[in-house]
Structure 1
């Protein structure tokens, strides 16, 4: 299902932090949000999963304005993995993942076969099936991240919204998670700090800077040395990855953009 953000503006504490932002993730597409800290990435994503309400603009799910849907209807269509993960759950891993089935259950309804299959499949996909009986609070940061992603997958949404999902993951699990997202072919909005990961996994990139959209397009078209200097203040060359052919950003770690050598 296509998701689009149109002319979005968000104010926090009386200050406009996002202004006139337009984003798109087409059906089955992974669209990445990149930009420096404070650029508005998380704020935009919070409006998509309805943690924040915009003061202007709208979010369209297909042709439907998200605000016209009930909370339950929205939760059946959009699952989120936000940056703020919540506290330690005194629940098992399986119980945490089963929370993703809540939008499909009536109050106090027992788990059915569809729920059990969705939970088991989600745990298997993130490589945490063998940890199902462990306490969530006893997991490492990377393990918790994978469990919370499994909870989002168990929700069986049409759209995934992920805010820095590779945080706390080692290199192997970062690669596994991003590969999983590509294999899912589920419409996804994802904020990433790692520009090379974004170039590899995303079909489309949206670059935010100062709460405004600066550029959108294919990673190869967007991630240019000039843009990297303007937005991130770094010197870099963009070359072809020797293994995949994706754009690969080689940063100059000895100087910053505009500085004398």
Structure 2
């Protein structure tokens, strides 16, 4: 399912936080949202999964305005893993994941075979099948993140909306989660702070800065040293990853992007050195 945002404006407490954004994620594409804190990424995603209503503009699913869907209908098409996780659930892991099946169930109806199969498959995908009967509140932060991702997968949506899904995950589970997203083949909108992860997993990147869209395109075209300096305020070189060939950002951790160059910088020091 193709998703498109047309001239999207979002306001919080009377202040515009997203202004005039146009972006597209084609069917089966992973589209990443990157930008500094406060750039509007989370607010934009909340409009897609209907936690916020846009002040202006439209969210279109295959050309149909999202406001024309009933809540249950939109939940069958769009599933979200937001940053706001809520408090502890007094439920087991399996029961949390079963919540993803609510859009398909009639009131007071028993779980169907399709519901049980979807829950089992989702738990298996995130490596938590053996933890189905554990209390959710006893999970580690990373395990909770994976359980909530399983809940979204159990919805069997056409579109996944993920806000910082690698938070609380160790390196191994970050790699596994990003590989899982690639394997899903679902249209995905994902906000990521890790620019190297975004460059590796995303087909297209959309860069937000102060609520405006400032760049869109394939990661190699978008993640330039000039953009990294302007938007993120860092000096960096963009090189080829030695294992995958993806763009790899080598940050200069010795100073900000606008520092004065050394009077006599000497030869370049590794991949992090760039010309001023």
Tell me how many residue pairs correspond in the alignment. Answer: 261
| Structure-2 residue corresponding to 1:194 | 194
| Offset at residue 12 of structure 1 (A) | 1.1
| Offset at residue 11 of structure 1 (A) | 1.1
- What SS class does the counterpart of residue 189 from structure 1 fall into? strand
| Structure-1 residue corresponding to 2:29 | 29
Per-residue CA deviation, residues 139-185 of structure 1 (Å, 9 max, x unaligned), is 00000000000000000000000000000000000000000000001
| Structure-1 residue corresponding to 2:158 | 158
| Structure-2 residue corresponding to 1:125 | 125
Within-5 A mapping of 1:211-222? 211-222=211-222
| Structure-1 residue corresponding to 2:53 | 53
- What SS class does the counterpart of residue 244 from structure 1 fall into? coil
Per-residue CA deviation, residues 55-104 of structure 1 (Å, 9 max, x unaligned), is 11000000110001100100000000000011100100000000000000
1:106 aligns with 2:139: no
Q: After TM superposition, what 4+ stretches of structure 1 lie above 6 angstroms from structure 2?
A: none
| Structure-2 residue corresponding to 1:248 | 248
- What SS class does the counterpart of residue 100 from structure 1 fall into? helix
Tell me the distance in 2 between the aligned counterparts of 1:11 and 1:79: 23
- What SS class does the counterpart of residue 53 from structure 1 fall into? coil
Per-residue CA deviation, residues 12-69 of structure 1 (Å, 9 max, x unaligned), is 1111111000111100000000000000000000000000001110000001100011
Structure 2: 5+ residue stretches without partners: 263-276
Tell me the distance in 2 between the aligned counterparts of 1:202 and 1:57: 25
1:225 aligns with 2:204: no
| Offset at residue 10 of structure 1 (A) | 0.8
Within-5 A mapping of 1:62-211? 62-211=62-211
| Offset at residue 118 of structure 1 (A) | 0.1
- What SS class does the counterpart of residue 39 from structure 1 fall into? coil
Tell me the distance in 2 between the aligned counterparts of 1:111 and 1:185: 27
Comparing 6-15 with 119-128, greater Cα deviation is found at 6-15
Tell me the distance in 2 between the aligned counterparts of 1:14 and 1:116: 44
Structure 1: 5+ residue stretches without partners: none
Tell me the distance in 2 between the aligned counterparts of 1:5 and 1:227: 23
- What SS class does the counterpart of residue 242 from structure 2 fall into? coil
Tell me the distance in 1 between the aligned counterparts of 2:56 and 2:99: 32
Tell me the distance in 2 between the aligned counterparts of 1:224 and 1:211: 20
1:7 aligns with 2:7: yes
Tell me the distance in 1 between the aligned counterparts of 2:11 and 2:91: 36
- What SS class does the counterpart of residue 177 from structure 1 fall into? helix
Tell me the distance in 1 between the aligned counterparts of 2:228 and 2:185: 28
Tell me the distance in 1 between the aligned counterparts of 2:70 and 2:86: 23
